[in-house]
Amino acid sequence: MPIKFQSKPGLVIYLTAGDPSLEATHAIALEAIDAGADVIELGVPFSDPLADGPVIQRASERALARGTTLKDVLVLAKQIRTARPQAGLVIFTYLNPILRYGLAKFADDAKAAGADGVLVTDIIVEEASDATSNLLAELDRVSLAPIFLAAPTSPDDRLEAIAAHSKGFIYAISRTGITGKQQSLTGDAQSLVARIRRWSTLPVAVGFGISNATHVAQVAEFADAAVIGSAIVELIERSAPEDKSGHAQAAAVARFIKGLRQPEAALTR
């Protein structure tokens, strides 16, 4: 089942769960949805986040230092689902925490928590490893949508495999490398989305480096949604870090999200 975006472009907001606290992530997620986020990606903190840049790495380190676990993230997901049933909800993780948790148990608990989909950054869909195949089978069993990353360097056979196995949306990486803000989008993102559309009719969300209203407007010209991660996590990092309740960070994130679709509002931040 495709994850629906209510606006054009849709906004996918990434949060590292547990940074600065689980209570704060809950408050920030609700404010983000109320401010216009279509989908919340709840990032499971991981000790070796190879795909993430320094901003999200620091957030993961802080969340892990506070003892945040995958189980905690699933409890948080259920709380968000209960409070905002209309929003899309994706669990963003690496494979190792799922393997430790148990594939079948993870699928059951993520479904029970109300997640719509799961994005596992380090599985390669065209490589039929036991872990990948078993995870996809478990997600299919409980009707959870697998979401895959597609890079500008992905060959056509990989894009075809991603299209064949994806059910939520396809996450198009705007550039090669790790997550983090950038000054402008490259033509690689638009070309990649066009290539993906040859293989899939699913919504395509563009991420890695999207950080302002100009980027979001550019994405709207050729894709269905924009993913904002590092810019949000960095904003949380520098907004009243002593406030573990998350109220100050939630207010800052809400203003930022409103500014992504209303450039004039961004001037008041």
CATH of the domain at 130: 3.20.20.70
Q: Report the share of the chain in percent with pLDDT over 90.
A: 76
Number of domains making up the chain: 1
Number of H helices and E strands in the chain, helices first, is: 12, 8
Q: Which residue segment(s) compose the domain that 91 sits in?
A: 10-266
243, part of any domain: yes
3, part of any domain: no
Annotated catalytic residue, options 19, 52, 138, 234: 52
* 6: DSSP letter: S
127, part of any domain: yes
Across the chain, mean pLDDT equals 90
52 is catalytic: yes
- Tell me the per-residue pLDDT of 168-211, one tens digit each, with 9 for 90 and over: 999 999 865 445 444 456 578 999 999 999 999 999 999 988 99
2, part of any domain: no
Q: What is the CA radius of gyration of the chain?
A: 17
1, part of any domain: no
List Cα–Cα distances, 110 to 38, 93, 99, 208, in angstroms.
19, 12, 14, 25
Report the pLDDT value the prediction gives residue 255, as an integer from 0 to 100. Answer: 96
- Residues contacting 140, CB < 8 A, separation 6+: none
82, part of any domain: yes
Annotated catalytic residue, options 41, 72, 224, 237: 41
The candidate with the shortest Cα–Cα distance to 16, out of 189, 240, 234, 233, is 233
- Asked whether the predicted pLDDT for residue 151 surpasses 70, the reply is yes
Q: What angle do CA 119, 121, 126 make, to 5 degrees?
A: 95
**Average pLDDT, stretch 137-151?**
96
4, part of any domain: no
41 is catalytic: yes
The answer to whether 210 and 189 are in contact (CB under 8 A) is no
The answer to whether 237 and 59 are in contact (CB under 8 A) is yes
Report the pLDDT value the prediction gives residue 221, as an integer from 0 to 100. Answer: 93
